[in-house]
Every structure is written in C-alpha cells, then in structure tokens.
Structure 1
Amino acid sequence: MIPTLEWTDEGVRFLDQTKLPLETTYVLATTYDEVATVIRDMIVRGAPAIGVSAAMGMALGIDRSTATTVEALTPEVEQMAAVLAGTRPTAVNLFWGIARLKDLYYKLATETVGRPEADRLRTIKAGVIAEAKQVYTEDIDTCKTMGRVGQDLLPREGTVLTHCNAGALCAAGYGTALGVIRAAVEAGADIHVLADETRPYLQGARLTAWELLQDNIPTTVLCDNMSGALMRQGRIQAVIVGADRIAANGDVANKIGTYTVAVLAKEHGIPFFVAAPWSTIDVNTATGDGIPIEQRSAREVTHSNGKQMTPDGVGIENPAFDVTPSKYVTAIITERGVLRAPYNESIAAMTNTQTAVSA
C-alpha cells in the first residue's frame, strides 16, 4: 500500500495526487503553512486524509515553533489552526483533526504548569507528534473496520458503481467506499467496479481506476453522464460512495455529481450506500442545508491539461460538492456499525457507541 502521507524526520511527506496516474511523485511539507497549501491544492484530498493531514500540520507547526515559552507558543497554535481551517471548508474531518491536536495541546499545557518552560515545551512537542501519528494509525484501522462492517451489503457477484475517489488515496490507507469493496473482494466476492470519471478534477478516472488496478480489481471508467443508461439496462447492482460531511439527519455532502447518481439509483431500485468514518458525521449540523460548499477555481472547468476548453467570457460554476438528501441513502457504513433511516434517530443512538456492530 503506497502511503498517502507519512510523518518523517524531515517533515510530512505527501503522495502528489495531482500527478497520478502517470507520475508517482512526492511533496515534502516542512511547515504548517506548506501542509495547508498541500490540502488547498488537492495534492492530498479526501475527508479522512484531510483530517490526518490537519493533525500532522498542527503537530509540525508546534514542533517547529521557535517560541521559548508556552505563553508565546499559544497564539501561534491558534494561528496554525486558523490557517489550516481555511483550506477546505466542506470536509468536517479537517476541523476534527485540528481540534484533536489543539485539545491535546491545551491539556498538556495545563498539566505541565509549574515545570521549567523548556521541559514543558519538550513534553508538549513530543505529545502532539505522538498524537498525530496515532491519528494516522487509527484512520487505517477505522477504514479496515468499515470494510468488515459493510462488506456483506455488497453483492457477492455483480457490478458496483462509485463516484470520485473514496479509496486508500482519500485516507491514510485502505479507504472508505473502496475499503468496503476491498473487504468484499478479500472475502471472495466477484465484483466489477464502474468508476465515474468525476469531472472536472477526474478523481475517478485518475485515482480510483489507478488504485483498483494496483489491487487487480476489475475496473471500468465511465463518463459522468453514462450511469443512468447502464442502470436502466440492469448493469449496476449497487452504488457506494464516500462522504466529506454527514449532517445529523443523514444528508450527505460528497463530490459534485453524487446527488445525480443517488437520484438515478433510487429511480432504478438500486441500493445507494455511503461509507465514512464516524468523524465525518457532524451532529452539530442539523441538515445538509447547513453544510458549507467549497467553490473552487473556474480554471478547473475552463482548462484541461493546460489547454483552454471554453470561450473567454463565459460564466463558470465549480462547486466541489453537492448534498444528497438522506431519503436517497440506503445505509451509511461507519466503523461503529451500519446506520439506517430514520437517520436522525440512528445517528443519535450510535453517537455514544464506541465499538463496531454487525451489519
């Protein structure tokens, strides 16, 4: 498994997903500002991976700070958090990763009061680095648990459609939606994956196809407007996608185009599954109407491989995500178990549950 990102003595090393599938290259971030740029420019992407990246960015910033007292370091920590939080607003995992490291920072700062400042700083820096590494390890374990929890929901034999990339590349490893597919295949299922190309950034064509081929899972890339015709022909048995934020009522924000797929799946009687870690569920946002939608550069639409594809002066819309209402979602797969409608009730009931349950 090629690591999406990893902590090194030199800094945080990221697989450059903008260069895949033709180049396997890496970017080294040595400051928290550089981690923020990596997230903003989609060198790393996918909600779980963004959460891990944010945690590592916080740890990197704290570790590399030249502040000589905790009092001097604290405003820097707040600045780090603000810069990282401003990168990609839809993925709630971003804020979860930041908060986890900030909470630990303040906890350690309180626990070390009265000790020499140099000792306090050493303790804090060692603690946040260990925590960032733990976030990374937990993310892989979470994805593997989701796979085990959700694998039986997929057909033992058939074709599964996915949209965008919700695989090992969207997480620290293994993946969310593709993690469920991987687990099903490992358990003996005969699954062929259809990957929507996912315009305009082509995460399905570039990333999902690339990583599934590494695992020898049969994969076919579709243009985004093909899935409805294939559903009508009976060629798709299930749909599974990831999520960047899930509201308390089960509304799901995911890559633009997901809503269209969900409506088509409902019309054709095809189950539509969402796989996401519990950290993607935002119980403080009541419905999908409250989820902020990131607007990205018009150039992603106007240009392809550096070549302009649209006339000068034309208007451009480029929302990165859309919201799928919960009524179109058959089930939500998490490491704690499978959620079903009514989602406001099942999410509330599982909020305090820490262990995975059977699907």
Structure 2
Amino acid sequence: MTAQLTSIRTDGDKIEIVNQLLLPHVTEFVEIHDIYEAHDAIKSMKIRGAPAIASLAALSISSHLSRALREDPPPAFLASNAALQSHIQAKLDYLFKARPTAVNLGAATRRLKKTLDEGVASAAGPREVAEAIIKEGKLINDEDVGRNRKMSKWGAEWLEEYWKRSGSDAGKEGLNVLTVCNTGSLATSGYGTALGLITHLFETGKLGKAYYTQTAPYHQGSRLTAYELKTLQIPSVMICDTMVGSLFQHHKIHAVAVGADRIAKNGDTANKIGTYNAAVLAARHNIPFIVVAPISTVDLDVLSGENIPIEHRPPIEACTVRGVLTPLAAEPSERKQAVVMMTPEDIEVYNPSFDVTPAELITAIVTEKGVATRRAGEKTFDLSEIV
C-alpha cells in the first residue's frame, strides 16, 4: 500500500495544516490556534478541498471547546445551555461563510448544530453538551478516510467492469485516467476521492497512466496533484487545461475522474473551474466521466445546478502565478517564494472558482454507498440509492 500525504494533523487539541499555498516546493505545517485562524486558512486557501475544509472547521470547534473546558474559571459561555448555544451558533455561522460553494462545510456545521440543539433540548448541562460537540467534531474528521477508501474502490471496480462490458481491449495494458484539480490526501483527511480512485487502480495493478490538468489559475493540478502523484510514485503526465481535447484525440483515455464541491439532487455537479470543459470533450470522445465524492457533497435541497452558488475569487489570483526564486537545490527553508504578475494592471477579470457540469454529461456518480448511473434515455440521476 502506498504512503499517504496529509493535509491535517492533530495531537490532542493541537491542529496543524500543511500550507498548500507553499506547495510543492516548501512543506510547512501551520498551527491553527483558534476558529478565526481556521476561517482564514479556509478563505485564503491555505487549506482547500471540500472534505478537508469541513474537517478543519469541525476540528477547530472541538479544539475551542476542549480548551474552554480546561479553563479555570470557565468562560461565560459554559455557564448555561442558552449561553453555549448562542456562542457556538455564532462560531458555526462564521466558519460557514468562509467558502460558500463546498457543501461539505455546510454539512459539517449543520451536523454540529444538530448535536448542539439536541444536547440543549435534553437534560444535559452545558459541559456535557460541549463534550458531545467535541466528540462529533472529531468524528467528522476521522470518518473521512474510511469513506474515501470505500468510494475509491467502488469507482475503480465500476470502471474496470465498464470496459469489460464494452468487449474492447481497453485497459489491457492498464486504464488511463484524466483528473482535474486536486482530490487526494491534500484535499481530504486522507486517501482522496477521484485521486483515490486512481490510487486504488495503481495499488491493484490496473492503472496505465494518470493524466492531470494544471487547473489554472490556482494550479492545484500542477502544484498539488503533481506533488501527490510523485510522492506516491504513480506514473503520471501533466497537461495544460487547454490540452484536454488534444489529449483525447491522440491518446487512449479510459475515463475522466473528478471530485465535487456540491452535487444537486438531479446530479448536476459543481467542481473546480475547467471540469465542465473536460466533461464536454469527454462526451464528444465517448469517454466515461465519473464524479467521486462523499454523500455529504450531495445537496438534496438544491434541485439543479442553476441553484448552486458559485464563488468568485479576487481578480488578482487570475493575474499572478506563484513560484520559487531560489534554485531547487537549496534547502526547502532557503527557497524564496515569489508571486509574479502575468498581465497588465487594472484589467477586467472573470474569475469563478467553480463551474457546473450538467448531469447529462456525467456517466457515473460514486459515493461511499455505491455507484449511481442515469437510467437509459434520462438526462438526470436518481441519487436515492446512494444517499
């Protein structure tokens, strides 16, 4: 089994995240001391990936309460259930606003709110309610790795069976899979979703080669996916976002596997910008397009992609590129990070962080509960079997 990277590590109440703004050249773990630093890390993209964001938010609440329980005298919000409810609800609302598109963050805050509300409604005192929230916050993080392994296995096995049913020689020398953005251990609590599918194929000897887009403007592919695949020693090739069509024309690609930040009830999926482009081209070339994401990403309250809020990032992010000035031979601590402007100043920029892929372009949606496909002749999904 391949060694895994990690985006979050904990030791008791101590939380550290790898600063993904500095990867791949510098690996720096940053301690998150409080909820405000967790909010900043999410908003500034020091940590990113829908499951990882949810884990950090939940862990920051747990850590906050654990420390409060040890204070002498105790803080005022532990004086009564009403005070605790008011205090924690405000913190949950604050964390939720850090990034609006990823539904996992909302699912985590709602789950903690449910624990809070149920505790307050019971006969438990504020300290007991706080203990329950602490336990639930840690559970949100811990259960992510197990479900990632499940969905990765489901998706990989479905893809193998898909090509077996086709009757072709596809995959005889290994299945070649393209992915967009970064959906591995750095985007989750471990193993990953779409990148987990690729990792599972590699671990079982079924992978030919992994391809990944740079994923501009933040370059999650060229910085983070490249780093993970290299660490895992998985054979891989990077392409520019504009090269997807050319890749499909000249190389045999057996699937496109992507993650998701939100999946609507009908199967429309929001994911990192550039995913829709890949889906359109995959349909043109009859390549199966697979979405791999936990059940918490499915938002049954959102009927279609038209209702998914799309985050727009600051224009400057599309006008700059991050890099290293000092030669890579230097020690990591000596490498100087630089941000370089690529465009004229004061230009108008359209910079959505996500796009929406319509359900009709998606072949399969994989969660830890299994694989959903569209019924023959239908353009949308019935996700009831996997939610």
Q: Do Structure 1 and Structure 2 share a fold, with TM-score over 0.5?
A: yes
Deviation at residue 344 of structure 1 after TM alignment: 5.3
**Which of the residues 32, 40, 60 maps onto 1:37?**
40
**Which of the residues 237, 244, 260 maps onto 1:220?**
237
Q: Which residue of 2 aligns with 1:191?
A: 208
Deviation at residue 54 of structure 1 after TM alignment: 1.9
Deviation at residue 72 of structure 1 after TM alignment: 1.8
Distance 1:175 1:122 in 2: 35
User: Is the CA contact (8 Å cut-off) linking 1:58 and 1:98 kept in structure 2?
Assistant: no
Deviation at residue 164 of structure 1 after TM alignment: 0.2
1:283-302 equivalences under 5 Å are: 283-302=300-319
Distance 1:107 1:344 in 2: 36
Distance 2:380 2:285 in 1: 25
**Which of the residues 74, 78, 99 maps onto 1:68?**
78
User: Is the CA contact (8 Å cut-off) linking 2:18 and 2:47 kept in structure 1?
Assistant: yes
Could you tell me the percent identity over the aligned residues?
38
User: SS of the residue aligned with 1:154?
Assistant: helix
User: Is the CA contact (8 Å cut-off) linking 2:262 and 2:271 kept in structure 1?
Assistant: yes
Deviation at residue 339 of structure 1 after TM alignment: 0.6
Measured against aligned partners, the alpha-carbon deviations of 1:142-187 in whole angstroms (never above 9, x if no partner) come to 0000112111233541321100001111110000001111112222
Distance 1:4 1:190 in 2: 25
Q: Which residue of 2 aligns with 1:333?
A: 366
Distance 1:78 1:196 in 2: 39
Q: Which residue of 1 aligns with 2:329?
A: none
**Which of the residues 46, 49, 54 maps onto 2:52?**
49
Deviation at residue 9 of structure 1 after TM alignment: 3.4
Amino acid at match of 2:383: I
Amino acid at match of 1:14: I
1:149-298 equivalences under 5 Å are: 149-154=154-159, 156=171, 157-298=174-315
User: Is the CA contact (8 Å cut-off) linking 1:59 and 1:101 kept in structure 2?
Assistant: no
Deviation at residue 107 of structure 1 after TM alignment: 1.8
After the TM superposition, which of the residue ranges 92-101 and 2-11 deviates more from structure 2? 2-11
- Alpha carbons of 1:68 and 1:134: their partners in 2 closer, same or farther (altered >3 Å)? closer
Distance 2:6 2:89 in 1: 29
**Which of the residues 301, 310, 313 maps onto 2:343?**
310
Distance 2:234 2:349 in 1: 36
After the TM superposition, which of the residue ranges 326-335 and 64-73 deviates more from structure 2? 64-73
User: SS of the residue aligned with 1:178?
Assistant: helix
Deviation at residue 75 of structure 1 after TM alignment: 1.3
Deviation at residue 292 of structure 1 after TM alignment: 0.2
User: SS of the residue aligned with 1:226?
Assistant: helix
Amino acid at match of 2:103: V
Q: Which residue of 2 aligns with 1:124?
A: 129
Amino acid at match of 2:232: D
What are the ranges of 5 or more consecutive residues in structure 2 without an aligned counterpart?
Answer: 69-74, 161-170, 323-338
Deviation at residue 27 of structure 1 after TM alignment: 1.3
Amino acid at match of 2:216: R
User: Is the CA contact (8 Å cut-off) linking 2:78 and 2:127 kept in structure 1?
Assistant: no
Amino acid at match of 1:322: D
Q: Which residue of 2 aligns with 1:357?
A: none
- Alpha carbons of 1:171 and 1:252: their partners in 2 closer, same or farther (altered >3 Å)? same
After the TM superposition, which of the residue ranges 169-178 and 42-51 deviates more from structure 2? 42-51
User: Is the CA contact (8 Å cut-off) linking 1:15 and 1:24 kept in structure 2?
Assistant: yes
Deviation at residue 285 of structure 1 after TM alignment: 0.3
What are the ranges of 5 or more consecutive residues in structure 1 without an aligned counterpart?
Answer: 114-119, 352-359
Distance 1:130 1:68 in 2: 17
User: SS of the residue aligned with 2:253?
Assistant: coil
Distance 1:60 1:292 in 2: 30
Deviation at residue 127 of structure 1 after TM alignment: 2.1
**Which of the residues 26, 29, 43 maps onto 1:26?**
29
After the TM superposition, which of the residue ranges 233-242 and 332-341 deviates more from structure 2? 233-242
Q: Does 1:135 align with 2:140?
A: yes
Deviation at residue 6 of structure 1 after TM alignment: 2.9
Q: Does 1:346 align with 2:382?
A: yes
Deviation at residue 345 of structure 1 after TM alignment: 5.3
Measured against aligned partners, the alpha-carbon deviations of 1:103-149 in whole angstroms (never above 9, x if no partner) come to 11222233344xxxxxx333233222222221112100000001121
Distance 1:76 1:11 in 2: 21
Q: Which residue of 1 aligns with 2:326?
A: none
- Alpha carbons of 1:68 and 1:331: their partners in 2 closer, same or farther (altered >3 Å)? closer
Amino acid at match of 1:313: D
Q: Does 1:83 align with 2:90?
A: no
User: SS of the residue aligned with 2:78?
Assistant: coil
